[in-house]
Amino acid sequence: MGNKRIYKWGAVVMLPLVLFPLFSYLFPLPDKVDYSTIITDRKGNVIHAYLTRDQQWRMKTELHEISDLLRKAIVEKEDKWFYYHPGVNPFAIGRALVFNIFSGRRTSGASTITMQVARALEPRQRTYTGKLVEAFRAFQLEWKYSKKEILQLYLNLIPYGGNIQGVKSAAVLYFGKNPDHLSLAEVVALSVIPNRPSSLVMGRSNDQIVRERNKWLIRFRRENLFPEKDIEDALDEPLTARRQEAPKLIPHLAYKLKKSGAPVIDTYIDLNTQQKTEKLVSDYVRTLKFKNVHNAAVVVIDNSTNQVVGYVGSADFYDSTDGGQVNGAAAIRQPGSTLKPLLYGMCIDAGIMTPKSILADAAINYNGYAPENYDRKLNGYVTMEYALDHSLNIPAVKSLKTLGKDRFVQQLSQAGFRQISEDRRKLGLSLILGGCGTTLGELTALFAAFAHEGQFIPPKYTAADTGYRSTKILSPAANFMITEVLSKVNRPDFPLSWSSTEKLPKIAWKTGTSYGRRDAWSIGFNRRFTVGVWVGNFSGEGSPDISGAELATPLLFRIFNTIDYDSDKDWFDQPADCAIRKICSVTGLPPGDYCENLVTDYYIPLVSSNQPCQHMQEVMVNSGENISYCKSCMPADGYKKILYASVDADMQRWMDDHKILYKKIPPHNTACEKIFREGAPMIISPAANAEYLIDRKNPEPLQLGCTAGADVDKVFWYINDRYYKSSPARDKIFFTPEEGPVKISCTDDKGRNRDIWIRVKFTGQ
């Protein structure tokens, strides 16, 4: 009999232990909480918040935000045995039953903090059946979560009237601070509201709330829960809080980051920097309205951490007339000339050039693509650094052609340029002049690499942005050379309107203006910050006044002058892989036999070209100096050697157009057979294999142009194998073509010939 009793009571004890997991499996805990998305700044303060799907303010209180003050006050008031019971307090249940039976009504409750969490997760009518379900859910909560996590859930779900739930929502919306920054008086004031959320309304019932608060403070004093001085201060503290608007301080960035789905998004925004920048942008754009320019965007990166500390998407988010809700920092726009520094840096690393290398700023034509400079002028021979700080287009296109477009696009793809990566197959040489799509955020991140010795590191927007690997886009030497060029103040893109009395910190910067004057860019950096500025219209409407130098750079300078005032003591040092050498000023190459004017230039040992300068060449000519010879046709005697400057064909055309005299090499020996095998003229207009649409009523003639050798005086043009006209080699003539395929031939006075084909279509009646 004794053993049977043991087995019976054992079964009674074991049955719940067996059934509990089964019922938990059949009736899982509904513990998925929909939290408001909140965005915090670098100090953890809420700077932007969104309602939940059910239109509640339910901001998640993190464990580290539950201060000892908050924990002790809440537990003492709501459930002092919280840390000792398994979710249900049997003594409290017994006490409540006794009181309720003898009084004939409900005078005392027995809900623990855990049971209150269960009720908040699964609201139901307050019946005995409901209480049994609550108890079951409480056991499930205790089984699954620690006491700290259950208290966290409680603090996130308690009601504060209206659509405010959770202590963090109440702390932010009533006191404008996080829960761990609340005073004892504020903590206790918030602890009394959930019991009567409809009658104790902050801002309307503050006197009542203070009376209830003080009752509990006096009780806490009797129980020695807090120091006497803290209690006295809390009793004397006035309550002036009222409901405030939810913070909406970084609308553009908040919307961008909200897509991650996380309830709490910790950004690195420095609120002081953010608000200063917003004010500068708003005030500045207001002055541009009369120029028909209505918006601007700014991104600020802290170079020491690579964190985005400032992000302004428009001049005024709430200005619907000018598309204020468009995020200009993330919009895809044409970048103008802002990619040129990377291109020249890559050319330096490829050994193609150094800062004082000489480039030809003369007309070119690549299969119909004939770029022009911004001012439509040609400058002839220029150094690379001159081409960069004057933002010349033709040398940039030539440099991209030499480096290789695909190589450049690959580097941009590695630096996070998404649109360029997607369009890589259809991009041409025009991409270096802005013929591509990018964003202000991408450009600012690229220029931040210049502040990190050429190492590209994706910018950090949030604390979740970890594990990023750096990518080397430039060597430290090339990076330093480009930085030196971009930090010059005596540049044509230095804004004329900028006051010389401003204490601008030393920065390096590059401007850009897109085709049609739709976008003005200025990206600058120093040791501390990289700042990207875009100015324009979200509608895409251009304006004659839109210019990177005149509109974007003044705002860039104002921002640097505000966030990094007069800070020019720390600048970039010359790296070990960057050396200095003497070069010929005519070509930028190491001096050769005939170099006279030498200058110093940076270079990279074992990378930069060591080919000596050969700008002067020795040519064999007859005694009258009117015929030149090559080694294949030079006579045994009767000739002499004379020095001539080596001038490329495109520069010969430029010199002729600008009436610049130079000593030309005499025409080659007409009896030489070699000339018939090499040096045929290059047809540059019209473009080979191009299709031309011509108005049938008003046919526009097409231009014929070629680049011929220095020894050519006259060329002969043929259309569809029929002689058309002869002209001096560098003259431009015109013809009106027939419809259909057209063959164009050019023969020079040495008999060398070149053919191309074009297609002509007539339009109109």
Residues recognised as catalytic: 78, 337
Crossing angle, helix 113-121 and helix 68-78, to 10 degrees?
90
Cβ-defined contacts of 452-455 (< 8 Å, 24+): 452/303, 452/306, 453/479, 453/480, 453/575, 454/345, 454/478, 454/479
DSSP 143: H
Residues 6+ apart with CB under 8 A from 765: 696, 697
8 Å CB contact between 77 and 301? no
Q: How far apart are CA 253 and CA 460, in angstroms?
A: 13
- CB distance 353 to 399 below 8 Å: yes
Kindly provide the residue ranges of all beta strands, DSSP E only, lying in 233-391, ordered along the sequence: 264-266, 295-302, 307-312, 358-361, 380-383
- State the DSSP H helix or E strand holding residue 169, giving kind and residue range, or none if neither: helix 167-170
Instruction: Report the distance separating Cα 265 and Cα 258, nearest Å.
Output: 8
In eight-state DSSP terms, residue 369 is B
C-alpha 638/C-alpha 22 separation (Å) is 113
The dihedral region occupied by 266, where left means phi > 0, alpha psi between -120 and 50, and beta the remainder, is beta
Between the CA atoms of 104, 108, 113 and 117, what dihedral angle is there, to the nearest 10 degrees? 40
| Side-chain half-sphere CA neighbours of 600 within 13 A | 3
Q: Whole-angstrom Cα distance, residue 553 to residue 494?
A: 8
Rounded CA-CA distance 290/308 in Å is: 32
Cα(90)–Cα(680) distance, rounded to whole angstroms? 104
Cα gap 366→372, rounded to integer Å: 12
- Whole-angstrom Cα distance, residue 28 to residue 143? 12
> Cis omega (within 30 of 0) on the bond before 459?
no
Which DSSP symbol is given to 228? H
